[in-house]
Amino acid sequence: MLLSFSSTSIRILIIKLILILLLTGCSTDTSPKNIHLKYGNPSQANAKDFNNYLLEKPNYALSYNCSAGIPNWVSWQLNRFWLGSVDRSNDFRPDLDLPDGCYAVRPSDYRGTGYDKGHLIPSGDRTISQTDNSTTFLMTNMIPQSPANNREVWRELEEYSRQLVSEGKELYIVAGGEGKKNVIAQGKVTVPSYTWKVILVLSNGNVEQTIAVRMPNTEEVARTDWRDYLVSVDEIEQKTGYDFFSALNKNIQQKIEAKVYQ
């Protein structure tokens, strides 16, 4: 039995098909899947390179280095949405999202080394829920930090960041370690020579400025101020080889990354 269609029905069907093709092909939604990579993936981390392995969590993103046993960098958004009043969970644990063949660092690997299990995204930046806070205690978020670095200057900059948020700012932060000072855990975990952090500051949705620091990962930073270690984002890029905030307009990116925070 042959089905018959009127010329009007055929025209309507063709128009519908054209509209579907236009809507599919002309989509302009280029927003990242993960808000924490909104302004770029600094090292083009991906799911194939075990030394630049992309892990995307609901509350941050990171590039993990399986050979070094530490993250290359961790990137996260910080605004009032993420801040609440939950207690610090302290449930340090291996990250089960690492690929097969990549050693999952354990909290015990730091025991007796003299180094802190140092958060890159701090516990204090994720206090809206116990689940969000707990995720910051995954070992893929840790680097070996000297106690003075972790508990003094690094912590003070973390607190300053949250102070900016309390004043209505929105921040996009990337932090990591640089160099190789030592190894622990029978060579499975690298101790970086420096810790660094770059912060993009937005006010009312508009890019305002950047903050960048590079701190020695030693006890010599005790009783110093985080402002003593201010540098430009350009300098951190030169030291690490990463490209921060690449999603910004290039003129804006070049201008703000050349300045040292005042």
Show which residues are catalytic. 119
Question: What is the token pair recorded at 54?
Answer: 């992309």
Q: Which residues pair with 200 in a beta bridge?
A: 172, 210
- Give yes or no for a contact between 120 and 175, defined as CB atoms under 8 angstroms apart: yes
- Give yes or no for a contact between 193 and 183, defined as CB atoms under 8 angstroms apart: no
As a whole number of Å, the CA-based R_g of the chain is 22
- Quick one: CA dihedral 124, 210, 221, 238, positive or negative? positive
The amino acid sitting at 93 is R
Angstrom distance (rounded) from CA 58 to CA 76: 10
Q: How far apart are the first and last CA of the chain?
A: 81
Angstrom distance (rounded) from CA 9 to CA 7: 5
Question: What is the token pair recorded at 117?
Answer: 């299990």
Angstrom distance (rounded) from CA 119 to CA 107: 12
Integer angstrom CA distances of residue 28 from 22, 44, 119: 12, 22, 37
